[in-house]
Amino acid sequence: MNGAPPVLQGKLARLRTVREDDVPLLTRWLDDREVRYWLHHSDREDASEEEVRARFGPDAVREGELRWTIEDEQAAPVGLIRLEGLDSVHRRAELAITIGEKTHWSRGYGTEAIELALHYGFGELNLRRVWLITDVDNVRGIRCYEKCGFRREGVLRGHRLRYGEPLDMLSMGVLREEWDEPAEGKSRK
């Protein structure tokens, strides 16, 4: 699936298409060592605006990817969320999220953005599985993913480097039937 994804509105967060004026913010987030610490590319050099525009900008075309800018209640961009590797045969996708504005960490924006993306993926795209991988020591992220219905599936040993050191990563996934199950403490859009 290509093209602009729809706007998704929650109580706290709003997901909208990435715009040209997001590129400097995305670049700042990706160049922030504290934000990049949790990203799969923490060992890479700082990104230029041109590189960020080519990968995440409004005109970047990546087959099988939907990406949204996450906005807060004041319509200020706070992060980026993507469904990538959309596979219509196996009906699955990988979820990737970054909350780039550190003042918005641990305030519910990531949780709601993920719930909105999952609702769209399972409801509109008819996915049967959404998965992700995260650092095994990303306690805050893992707590958020589990709150959204993801389950731990396995450890990828030494899967990436963080500042030159091998790091294990945790594979997590949620199946459509698990998403459809009513669960105490989980909200559904």
pLDDT category, 163, cuts 50, 70, 90? confident
- For residue 93 the two structure tokens come to 């996708």
Does the predicted TM-score (pTM) go above 0.85?
yes
- For residue 68 the two structure tokens come to 């949204």
Residue whose structure tokens are 């099988």: 64
- For residue 124 the two structure tokens come to 């509109």
- For residue 43 the two structure tokens come to 């060992």
Burial 111-148 (b: 16+ CB within 10 A, else e): bbbbbbbbebbbeebebebbbbbbbbeeeebbebbebb
pLDDT category, 5, cuts 50, 70, 90? confident
Would you say 161 and 167 are in contact if contact means Cβ atoms under 8 Å apart?
Answer: yes
Query: Of 84, 107, 86, which Cα lies nearest the Cα of 96?
Result: 84
Is the pLDDT at 115 greater than 90? The verdict is: yes
Do β-strands 77-87 and 14-17 pair in parallel, antiparallel, or remain unpaired? unpaired
The domain spans of the chain are: 8-131
pLDDT tens, position by position, 47-60: 788 888 888 888 88
CATH no. for 8-131: 3.40.630.30
Quickly list DSSP for 51-111: HHHHHHSTT---TT-EEEEEE-TTS-EEEEEEEEEEETTTTEEEEEEEE--GGGTTSSHHH
pLDDT category, 93, cuts 50, 70, 90? very high
- Contacts of residue 139, Cβ cutoff 8 Å, sequence gap at least 6: none
66: left (phi over 0), alpha (psi -120 to 50) or beta: beta
What are the backbone dihedrals phi and psi of residue 2, each rounded to the nearest 5 degrees, phi first? -125, 180
Query: How far is 145 from 141, CA to CA, in rounded Å?
Result: 6
pLDDT, mean of residues 52-72: 87
